[in-house]
Structure 1
Amino acid sequence: MNIACIYYENTWTMGDQSPTSLPFKEFEDGSKAELFPTEVSGVNAYIKLTVDADKTKYEVTNIHGELLLLERIERDYRATDTSARLKAVERALERIRGLGVTSALVSDGGDYVPLPEYEKDLRNEEEEENAILSTGSDA
């Protein structure tokens, strides 16, 4: 089945003053489905990061494994792996929030972990790296 288009559909909830816009995919046969349906656990997206010497790549899939976003980000030659991963996570997050993603899991080769936890760990790593660089030692 091929996707004919992706569109936003406004939904109103009782008491809301404005509609919530959710992305859907519509198929050639006229059927439609949510772009990012939610699992029982509340997760509705997976982000996989790949860090190379010259670029960082992220892929976003929904719970059915459908690849919905893919981006390669050129890497600053001075960037550490941590800062490259953090930049990719921030870019992915910018893009998926507008698509109705409310909860995502992230992996950079290991197990998938909740996005807030992953982002917090990256920020802590970045602070440690910056502290080491500013003192000029490995301690």
Structure 2
Amino acid sequence: MDFVSIRIITDQIKPLMAFYETITGLSATWFTDDFAELATPSCTLAIGSTRTLALFGTDVAQPAANRSAIIEFRVSDVDAEYSRLVKIIGGFVQTPTTMPWGNRSLLLRDPDGNLVNFFTPVSAEAIRKFDRKAGAVAPADATA
């Protein structure tokens, strides 16, 4: 199995995708006016308009209602990202802080209120953990 994407449903697809393009420095691929993806080397952030919900049935998702998931991006230098974003983003939930599990973390909210974490592994253990993840992708039929 391969986890490939997470999708955000929104009433404001163009401003939301513009926000993610701005904070990541990546360009989105637009498939329709109602669906776009922002691909990174490890995963894809998909954003769909509420109009796409009709394809799944009614009331399966509600835009701007998330309070349980965090969208996370590993970056090479979270403090440099903060310096760049402080000029672009109004407020932050948390400025760069070293967490007990070894990541230096920066928290902000996207225009729909979703929590976004930029982080850099800084402890030896966190660095080893993410180096292992970056170096090997298990085959779909591998057993643990």
Q: Would the TM-score normalized by the shorter structure come out above 0.5?
A: no
Give TM-score scaled by structure 2 length.
Answer: 0.24
Structure ranking higher on relative contact order (CA contacts 8 Å, 6+ apart): 2
Relative to the length of structure 1, the TM-score reads: 0.25
Q: Highest CA radius of gyration, 1 or 2?
A: 1
